[in-house]
Amino acid sequence: MVSRIITACVAAATVAALGISVKPKSEVATESPTASREQPAAPKYDLLLRGGHVVDAKNKISAVRDVAIAGGKIAAVAAKIDPAEALKTVDVTGLHVAPGLVDIHTHVYTGTGERGSYAGDNSIYPDGFTFRVGVTTVADAGGAGWRTFADFKDRIIDRSKTRVLAFLNIVGNGMRGGKYEQDLADMEAGPTGDAAKRYPGLIIGIKTAHFTGPEWAPVERAVEAGTAANIPVMVDFGTGRPERPVSELVTKKLRPGDIYTHVYSGLRGELDPSGHVNPGLFEGRKRGVIFDVGHGGGSFLWRIAVPAMKEGFIPDSISTDLHIGSMNAGMKDMLNVMSKFLAMGMSLDDVIARSTWHPAREIKQEELGNLSVGAPADVAVLRVQSGDFGLVDMYGARLSAKERLVCELTVRAGKVVYDLNGLSRPDWQSLPAGYGQTGDARWDGLNPLPAGRGSSR
């Protein structure tokens, strides 16, 4: 395959060097009177996902619908769309078609070589962990601060197929461990807010995290920066301290729209000593403060989550806190965390809403997390698998489950970027002897030939 691509590149380069103009195959084909039967000259849609159960919270759709994609955008959602109008049709009957999942708590600022750091070895490259579980957008939660954001952008954001956004750490040096993260002198609202304003739509929030001291300053300065840039603050409340109770944080210090993550950790008084949800959390929610899962390696316990869910304290958004530690422990991945909420009785529609439209709205990226016509064509096709499963929390306690979510197909910007069972691929026996690359760049993001030169099958 590699040699074939190289050969094609060399051939194209040779043709270009000789100044020869070669018509693309599709143009040649339209000159033949019989060719149009094999491949329409200009199909209206590049990709059609047919027969799946669409769950789109923004548009209040939970029903069997066809979804058509053209030019990287959602082009139509309807009960029936004619496959003749599409270059490529994929039958997704029996599966759920959701907007691409939006995971607003991840750690993807890696590659710097810094040991034991979330701006280094503790973080992971997004593309290796996102598409295989239906995630098309991640927000890095504070890996970079204003001093390091340009490096993060160059190293990760600009090179990833996954859409990568960022909560900028209130610490100028970012999430680089104790000596940096406890340094109040490096928590400056001014330069942090200014950096956020320079990258609108990319820096979508401010993060404060891991603080051990009694001061409110990290939260106050994060809120000041967030106010200056008109973006939300996400709080990892660090070490539980009596000087700064969580109830005061969510009822007084945070603004409506600010995000309290790690809500089921139990480490900062989320449940009161009687085992009931801290009334301050309900009060904070009434004020409009957002509560996010942020599962991670140390922030999700069944003995906190199950009673909280029973009392009606459900999360506004589901997120992973993906990093090198959480991914092999109880958290694993976005679908595993979503499956935990299914297991606690949340409906599938609600689980999907809280993993798509809700987080998109929280970070003010309302073009994401939905399947409106004109929205970026980021789509997750999910299967609800039945069987005997186990879901594990941060202390290794297990909850048995009968269902688990699996990603069958992921579409990013209109192209198939993950396809577990080859739903979009032709049976090899249907292809000519000696077949080459299948697919077409208009819908295939894996390894297609250029547009119009591949098979549309």
Contact positions vs Zn ion (CB under 5 A): 141, 321
Least CB distance to Zn ion at residue 328 (A) = 16
| Closest CB to Zn ion among residues 141, 327 | 141
Structure tokens at 309: 């869910």
Least CB distance to Zn ion at residue 175 (A) = 8
Least CB distance to Zn ion at residue 218 (A) = 15
| Closest CB to Zn ion among residues 141, 308 | 141
Least CB distance to Zn ion at residue 238 (A) = 11
| Closest CB to Zn ion among residues 321, 393 | 321
| Closest CB to Zn ion among residues 141, 229 | 141
* Contact (CB, 8 A) for 371 and 379: yes
**What is the SS3 assignment for 220?**
helix
Helix (H) or strand (E) holding 283: helix 279-287
| Closest CB to Zn ion among residues 45, 264 | 264
* Contact (CB, 8 A) for 295 and 330: yes
Q: What backbone phi and psi angles, to 5 degrees, belong to 137?
A: -130, 130
Least CB distance to Zn ion at residue 152 (A) = 15
Helix (H) or strand (E) holding 4: helix 2-17
| Closest CB to Zn ion among residues 270, 321 | 321
| Closest CB to Zn ion among residues 238, 414 | 238
CA quadruple 165, 168, 172, 176: dihedral positive or negative? negative
Least CB distance to Zn ion at residue 201 (A) = 22
- Distance, in Å, from the CA atom of 196 to the CA atom of 402, rounded to the nearest integer, reads 44
Contacts within 8 Å (CB) and 24+ apart, 196-199 = 196/168, 196/225, 196/226, 196/228, 196/229, 196/231, 197/228, 197/229, 199/149, 199/153, 199/166
| Closest CB to Zn ion among residues 105, 415 | 105
Least CB distance to Zn ion at residue 223 (A) = 19
- Distance, in Å, from the CA atom of 62 to the CA atom of 43, rounded to the nearest integer, reads 28
Which residue number is nearest to Zn ion in terms of Cβ?
A: 321
Which amino acid, residue 134?
Answer: G
**What is the SS3 assignment for 243?**
coil
| Closest CB to Zn ion among residues 211, 443 | 211
What's the angle, vertex CA 410, arms to CA 44 and CA 38, rounded to 5?
A: 35
Least CB distance to Zn ion at residue 204 (A) = 15
Using CA atoms, how far residue 193 sits from 18, 138, 170, in Å, is 53, 21, 9
Least CB distance to Zn ion at residue 435 (A) = 46
Q: How far apart are the first and last CA of the chain?
A: 19
